[in-house]
Amino acid sequence: MTTRSAMVGFGGYLPERVVTNDELSERFDTSDEWIRARTGIRQRHIASEQDTAVSMATRAAERALTFAGIAPKDVDAVIVATATPDQAFPSTAVRVLHQLGVAHGFGFDVSAACCGFIYALSSADAFIRSGQARTILVIGSEVYSRILDWSDRGTAVLFGDGAGAVVLRATDGDGSTGLIGTHLHADGSTGDLLYVDGAVGRREHPGHLRMSGRDVFRHAVAKLSSSVDEALDSAGLTYADVSWLVPHQANIRIIEAVARKLQMPIERVVVTVERHANTSAASIPLALDEAVRDGRIQRGDLVLMEALGGGLTWGSALARI
């Protein structure tokens, strides 16, 4: 009997403050129409002074555990995907362990930008399949508003803050539920297309996000499409078998282009970018949480997740809920 990682809990957290395109148009030479036409974004949530990567991750994790009916004492590990940690160390994950009251186990952060959740999910799945853990919280938590250059219209309108979490639990059933497979990729030669121009270890400045939008778009459509094909081919499945596509929420044009390549109607794609903007590693778990809670994603559905981020990093995950 094969051990698989089942997604049994979902949770999300979004800061209270909502910033609309109209509000941004007071700061930039832009408009709601311009932003929506190019990105699909209407609004985004922006962290308050009290919101941190740790606090948001903890809130999302608490909601995921409540959904699953699992107590913190039963958590074996916490893996947090974040490009915007509160500190260089300790990791966001070990801070979350403490906030939740988990007295044992382990935790660490994964840095793969917008693809971080897929990387973290794959790591957690490997721990469960190997028998090193049975219950793992996988979280994406981002505070991108704190690394944006708020004088750069090209990037400032694209991102938002938030956190999403899933509970992975070992299942020894018949294989009808759980993660079927994950596929990860990276290409360091394209690292200058999307990056932060500083770091904690650099004295001159902490850094701001920089992006070559057109180049990222071109790579995103091609690499995400091939990653999705890879996931389905390895499982012996076709596009028609997929119940829901849950993509990284970067840009509605990328989402629609990938859906067209997959011959998948947009009605089978979970889209939150209009209200959340790009929350990087938090975007997929936030979208999962919303679609599970509103009843779109049902038990037994085949869900395909995919993301691309700075690195460039990209990957996919296929799961039966």
Active-site positions? Answer: 114, 248, 278
Q: Which string of b and e fits 98-129 if b means at least 16 CB within 10 Å? A: ebbebeebbbebbbbbbbbbbbbbbbbbebbb
For residues 128 and 279, what is the distance between their CA atoms, to the nearest angstrom? 27
**Distance, C-alpha 251 to centroid of its chain:** 14
How far is residue 160's CA from residue 44's CA, in Å, rounded to a whole number? 5
Q: Is 236 helix (H, G, I), strand (E, B) or coil?
A: coil
Query: 152 by DSSP, 3-state: which?
Result: coil
- Indicate the pairing of strand 135-143 with strand 77-81: parallel
Nearest to 306 by CA among 234, 240, 231: 231
- Say which DSSP state 269 is in: B
